[in-house]
Structure 1
Amino acid sequence: MSNPRDYRAYLLRLWRAESAEGTVWRASLESPHTGECRAFPDLASLYAFLQGQTTVVDVKEQTEE
């Protein structure tokens, strides 16, 4: 954890909600460092965000080499 780019921390909240399509899982992530909260309408959106967070780190590391 010596390099901030190598570490991500979030408080994850998951809950079920009713929608027109039936029951879906909703999610939110809160940064313990800034208090910023992001909401996600489904688990696929949450996963896409997390994947993007880790891809950004990978791309930056490759360009620095």
Structure 2
Amino acid sequence: MNETPGYVSYLLRLWQAQENGDWVWRASLENSQTGKRWNFANLDDLLTSLHTQTFELSANRVGDENLPSRKNKGV
């Protein structure tokens, strides 16, 4: 599958599991383009990973004329 700059697609799986008598959320992400898979013990780790991956994608596109400017959107 061709990679498109600034685009990534994931299959997200969420489920609950018991840990020390409490129910916690577990997650896995599978990159639809590469098949690489990550497992997460909690939602905080999942969100941190997504933030890191999207930050890296954005950093790789610095100076790209096609990338919309956030300051023009009031963000």
Asked if these proteins are the same fold (TM beyond 0.5), I'd say yes
TM bracket, shorter-chain basis: 0.7 to 0.9
Task: Please give the alpha-carbon distance, in whole angstroms, between the structure 2 residues aligned to 1:52 and 1:21.
Answer: 31
The TM-score normalised by the length of structure 2 is 0.71
Amino-acid identity (%): 37
Q: Is 2:63 the counterpart of 1:45? A: no
Q: CA deviation at 1:58?
A: 2.3
Q: CA deviation at 1:6?
A: 1.0
What's the RMSD between the two structures over aligned residues? Answer: 1.8
Q: SS at the partner of 1:6?
A: coil
**Greater Rg over alpha carbons, structure:** 2
Uncovered stretches (5+) of structure 2, i.e. residues with no partner: 65-75
Uncovered stretches (5+) of structure 1, i.e. residues with no partner: none
Kindly indicate which of the two structures has a greater share of residues assigned to helix: 1
Letter in 1 for 2:48: A
The TM-score normalised by the length of structure 1 is 0.80
Runs of 4+ in 1 over 6 A off after TM superposition: none
The within-5 A match list for 1:1-20 is 4-20=4-20
